Structure 1
C-alpha cells in the first residue's frame, strides 16, 4: 500500500513537471528563431517583452548587425506575439534594453546614438521617454571615464534610477570583461565606473549583471568560476555599502546547463534568461518557474481609457470601417525622401473640447481614428528623428464618413531646408501674426529635443517693389523669427538669419496665385 501511494505521488509530480515544461516551452514559440535572441527585459506592467536579436535581415544593419531591440506583446493565450523590430530605438551598434524607471515612463538603452558622419563615436548609455503610443528619440547620457573595449554588452539600472551596474572591458579590468558599478550623485550626474572587486571579477569574463530590487543580490554570468558549460549564471550577496565586499558567488544549478546561459533577470515567481542549450547554436529565450506559466503572466484587462486613447496600431486600408456618428480619418505618415512609411504619433485637436492621439502603424499599416463631428481640427505629426509638422484639417460635412489624409515628414539631417508655411507677417512689415506662434513653437520643440542643432533662418519675398526694400524686409522678417526663438529659450549661438529678398523664387512671380509662394521664411539645419 505504501509503495503504491509513493508511486502514485511520483506519477503526479512527473505529470505536473511535464505540464509546466510544456507550458514553458510554448511561451516563446513566436519569438525563438534561427537567429540569436538574448537580453529579455519585461516592461513594468508586464505586457511588453523587449529583447535583442542578432544577425537578422530585418535589423538596421542587416544580417551583419550585432543586435537590434525587438519587442513582443502578451496575448490572451499567455504566449508572446510575433515580435517587431523597434526601429527607432536601433542603430548599427549593438542595441539592448538596460531597464526602466519604476513607472515605466523612461527606458534605458545600451550605447550612444548621436552620430558623426554616420558613425557613433562615443560610448555609454541612452534613455528614451514615453510619448503618446511610442518612445522619444534616444538621448545620450554622459558618464565620465566610460569605456568598453568588449563586444559583449550587458547591464541593469535600478528602478529608482540611481544605481547602474554594467559589464565592461575598461580601466582596471582583471580579465575579458568585469562588472562595474556607477552611482548617481545628488546633483543628478553619474559617477565614474568602479570595479566590483576580485570576489566577483576573475581573469576571465563576467557579464550580463542584474540586481535584485533591494540591491542586495547580484546575478551575473561568468566563465571563470567553474560550472557546467561555457558560461553559467551565479549569484552573490552584497555585504556592505562599499560595493566591493561580496559573498563567494554560487551557481544557479537549476538553470545552468552545458550551454551558454546569460542575461538572467528575476521577476515575481519567475525569471527570464537566454541559453544556447537545445537551440540551433544561437541563444533562445528561456523562463524558469516552479508555478504554472498561465498564472504568472496576466494580460491587462481593457479599461475605459481605451475609449479616449486609440489603440489601433496596424490595419490594412480595406479593413478600415467608419465609426457610427463620427468621421474616421486614416492614412499613412511617410518619409519625405524615401516615401517609406514611418512610425509616428498623430495628434488631433479641436481647441477647447477635443484632443486625441494615435500611433501611426509601424508595419505597412495605416493610422486610423474617429473624430466626433464636422469642424476644423489641428493635426500634429511627430516621429523620432523627423521634423514635426502641424496642419489644419477642415471637415465640412457629417455625410463623409471616411477621410484619407497622408502626411510626409522630413528627416533631421544637415542641409535639410524646412519651409515655415504657417508663419505669416503683417503686410509690408516684420510683425509676426499671432497665428504663426504654433508653428514657431514646433521649431522650438525641435531644437530643445536636439540640443546640439543649429539652424540658419532665411527670409524671402516676391519680386514686386524695389529690390533694396525687399532685401531689407526679408532680413527683418528672418530676424523677427530669430528673436522669437531666443525669447523662448533657444541660445542665440544656435540661430543665425539672412534675408534674400526676391532673389530665390520657388514659383512664377508673374502668376498672382503662385507669386505668394515666394513670400516665405525657411530654416536650414547647419548642424545636427
Structure 2
C-alpha cells in the first residue's frame, strides 16, 4: 500500500500536467558512494553514463577522470577542498560533456560554463553573453534536446544568493544571456541543482528557502508559458526523499523506473548518491528551434525604452537620484532615468540620505516604468537587510551577504554622523534562550564585518531579540521565515 504522499503528489501533478509518484523510500547506491563526499549528480539521457563531483583533499591539477563501476561509465569531477573554487558537471549532449567551473581570482569568485569531448582534451568555454556568477558554487543541467541550460548562480541582481536562470540555445548554435526564472521560484535563500524533464517544462530543484524537512529539500514545478517566469506553485517531493539532512541533485532518465539524488545527513558537503523507484508521465518536447527573423536580427537586442523611477520606500514620492555605472554617472533631479537598451551590467542607484541599491540592467526589468524604492536613513528608520543570510542554525554568513553590508558601509561613509543599532531576530520555534543567543551571535558577526571596513565601533551597536519581536505570524513556515532577519535602526543622524 502506497503512502499518502504518493496520492498528494499525483493529485497535485494532474493540475500541472506532470504525474509523479514514488513507490518506496530512497536507498543508498553503495557501489557509487565512497568516504569522499558525492555531489552535483547528472545523468546522460541516452546511455547509462553519469557524472558527479567528488570532494577530496590533496594537491593536484586533475579535475576530471573516467571510471568504470559495474560496467557503467562514470565521469568524476574532483572538487579539491584545499583549493578555492569548484567544478561540477552540467550534462551530456551530442558527444560533449558540459560542466561548471568557479575560480577565485584577486579575492573574487568567477564562474563559467565549459565543455569537452573527452576527459583528456582541453575544455573550451561556452560563450554566454553578460555571464557573471559571483557565488563560490555553481550547478545546473542541460536539457535532453540541448535547447536549454538551467543554471544556479549568483548574478549581480538576484532575489537572494544562488538563483535559477535559463540560457536558451539560438538557431545558429549560440547561447542567449542568462534569464532569471523569477520570484515565483527564487527566494531570498538558495536554489540549486536544477533538473529539467523531457517536456522542457517540469523542473526539479533543491532549496533551503521554502521550509521543509531539512536544510535543503527537493521540489518540483511546471512552467506555465514561454516567458520562463510563470510557474506552478513548487511542490515538496515529500518524506520518501526529503529528510532532516540536505537533499539535492534529483535526476532520472526518460522511461526508467528509478531516479537518483544526493542526500547528506551530517552536513551540506558530504553526500551519498541515493536511488528511489518512481513513475512519471511526462511527454517529450518535440518543438524545434525557431529561425530568427532576419529583419528583427538587425534591430538592437532590446529596442523598447525602459524607465527607472526612484522613490522613497515609505512615501512612494519621487526623489532626486544618481545612477552610477562602470564608465558613467547620471544625475536626475526628478529621480527618473531612461534606458535605451539592456546591457546586462550592474549599476548603483543612490540618493542623499537613503540606503543605496544595486540593480542589474537585464531582462528582469519590464518595458516601460520600473519603480526603484530606496529606504531613508533618517533617525528612527528601521531597515531590514533582506540579503544578509546565515547558514542554518549558525552565525556564519552565507557567501555573498557582504554585498548588502557594503551598501550599509557606503551610506555610513557618506553620512559620517549616522549611528546605527543592529537588531537580530529569529522565529519563535525552539528554545527561547538559545534563540536570543543565536540572534546576538549573528549581530556580532554583522557588526564585525562593518567594523572591518573601517567604520568606527562607536557608531555601531547591536542587540539580539530572539523571537520576541515578530513582524509576521509564526503559524506557517512561509511567514515564519520572514521573522528571521537582521535589521538596523538609525539612532542618530
Higher relative contact order (CA 8 A, sep 6+): 2
More helix, by proportion = 1
* Greater C-alpha Rg: 1
TM-score (norm 1): 0.43
More strand, by proportion = 2
TM-score (norm 2): 0.46
